[in-house]
Amino acid sequence: MINESGMPPGRERYMTGEVKEKLNRVRTWMEEKAFDGVLFTTNPNFFWITGGKQGFVDKGTMDAAVNVLVTPAKAYVICNSSERYRVMEEELTDGTFELIAYRWHENEEQILRPYLEGKRIASDTGIYGSENRGGELQTLRYVMTKEEEERLAKIGFESAQILEDSVRDVKKGETEWEAAGRVTGRLLAKGYQVPVCLVASDQRVLKYRHPLPTDKQIENYVLIVICAQKYGLTSSITRLKSFGPVPEELRRKYEALLKVDTAFLLNTRAGVLVREVLEKGYEAYKSEGYEADFHLHHQGGGLGYLTRDYCANFQTEDLVLDGQGFSWNPTIAGVKLEDTYVIHGDSQRIVTETGTWVYREMTVDGRTVRRPDILVCQEG
């Protein structure tokens, strides 16, 4: 039984520290920018502001099925009759968000008129005549709360273990589709969404930087890439497997790429301009003789509630932030390295390292980091 507030009768109202911190960020931003409210209407922002709760139905759209309005005094959740019961019974159960309910055939804009009319409202999409401040609002998500980082650490480890187990289980003769289905199915079975799953084998690895899986049979070599999302947070990972010794050309490329990847990783430090980290990676590409490959695929950047909050380029003015998630993904034709980490000062917490893969120790400027190697398997 749900009452008109959207809460079971007698349910104690309280607010988690994480959500309180996020509402404070939004309200501080509102005060600085002289807004009367902020309307959140996208899935990433719903996940973020609610502390990882689910407000989506259609995975193919960024539009949330449930919206959130934050004012100086209150936080509202806006639900039509298709969503309100599940959302209020299974997701937003702590009383933080006050329900604005309407029937599915009613007009949401009209329902919200008393809350928006005559007020200066910002939003992440410009909906209902609000000011589109999506880019600015996105930056409020960049620094993770301690709760978010711990969730990402669990997600990173679990999703990396699933990917690595799935790569180990790839068999000669199965198709790229089958390999993709294995890892995707295992992730879905653990509550993940999988917005990105790339698989390429043999000659396709050498040709394509974003290889969608096909019905091609896997023969000697395979690369699998995932972006896995749970509670809205993203872990981004790549692993490679060779049946038999790695061909000399690919081994030479991977040795070079390890140096490029390590340059990216160890130079991603709080307070550094992101484009300066990109320049360090570019210098490593050039010094290893693979400058051309730098220009053929983006190198990654900050991430959290998107597969990338931005892909860094030489015009990026963002600073690396303390507590921000990052994933660089350097590639040379045929090989790729990719993990997810959280920045703490001059150090990087790699959340997608399981400790059970094959690794190499890499040292740059006296600092050593463990990086994944190509798994070599003699069995088909």
Q: Give yes or no: residues 361 and 225 share one domain.
A: yes
Q: Give yes or no: residues 214 and 80 share one domain.
A: no
Q: Give yes or no: residues 152 and 181 share one domain.
A: yes
Residue 59 has pLDDT above 90, yes or no: no
Q: Give yes or no: residues 295 and 164 share one domain.
A: yes
Give the number of other CB atoms < 10 A from CB of residue 149: 18
SS (H, E, C) the chain: CCCCCCCCCCCCCCCCHHHHHHHHHHHHHHHHHCCCEEEEEEHHHHHHHCCCCCCCCCCCCCEEEEEEEECCCCEEEEEECCCHHHHHHHHCCCCCCEEEEECCCCCHHHHHHHHHCCCCEEECCCHHHCEECHHHHHHCCCECCHHHHHHHHHHHHHHHHHHHHHHHCCCCCCEHHHHHHHHHHHHHCCCCEEEEEEEEECHHHHHCCCCCCCCCECCCEEEEEEEEEECCEEEEEEEEEEECCCCHHHHHHHHHHHHHHHHHHHHCCCCCEHHHHHHHHHHHHHHCCCHHHHCCCCCEEEECCCCCCCCCCCCCCCECCCCEEEEECCEECCEECCCCEEEECCEEEECCCCCCCCEEEEEECCEEEEEECCEEECCC
Q: Are 169 and 188 in contact (CB under 8 A)?
A: no
Q: pLDDT value at position 16?
A: 78
The model's pTM = 0.93
pLDDT digits (tens, 9 = 90+) for 192-242: 999 999 999 999 999 999 999 999 999 999 999 999 999 999 999 999 999
Q: What is the CATH number of the domain that holds 326?
A: 3.90.230.10
pLDDT digits (tens, 9 = 90+) for 217-230: 999 999 999 999 99
How many angstroms separate the CA atoms of 131 and 39, rounded? Answer: 10
pLDDT digits (tens, 9 = 90+) for 82-99: 999 999 999 999 999 999
Residue 54 has pLDDT above 60, yes or no: yes
Q: pLDDT value at position 379?
A: 67
Tokens of 232: 């809205």
Mean pLDDT of 359-374: 94
Q: Give yes or no: residues 254 and 341 share one domain.
A: yes
Q: Give yes or no: residues 331 and 347 share one domain.
A: yes
Q: Which of 105, 124, 139 is the last residue of a domain?
A: 139
Angle formed at CA 77 by CA 71 and CA 78, multiple of 5 degrees: 110
Does residue 45 lie within any of the structural domains? yes
Does residue 372 lie within any of the structural domains? yes
CA distances from residue 33 to 26, 136, 191, 227 in whole angstroms, order as listed: 11, 11, 38, 34
Q: Give yes or no: residues 88 and 165 share one domain.
A: no
Give the number of other CB atoms < 10 A from CB of residue 340: 29
Q: What is the CATH number of the domain that holds 82?
A: 3.40.350.10
Does residue 1 lie within any of the structural domains? no
Q: pLDDT value at position 12?
A: 36
Does residue 302 lie within any of the structural domains? yes
How many angstroms separate the CA atoms of 119 and 313, rounded? Answer: 37
Model confidence at 11, pLDDT cuts 50, 70, 90, reads very low
Give me the number of domains the chain comprises.
Answer: 2
pLDDT digits (tens, 9 = 90+) for 111-156: 999 999 999 999 999 999 999 999 999 999 999 999 999 999 999 9
Domain interval for residue 290 = 146-377
The residue count for the chain: 380
Non-local CB neighbours of 358 within 8 Å, separated by 6+ positions:
372, 373, 374, 375, 376
Residue 283 has pLDDT above 60, yes or no: yes
Does residue 299 lie within any of the structural domains? yes
Q: Give yes or no: residues 96 and 166 share one domain.
A: no
Backbone angles phi, psi at 222, to 5 degrees: -145, 145
Model confidence at 61, pLDDT cuts 50, 70, 90, reads confident
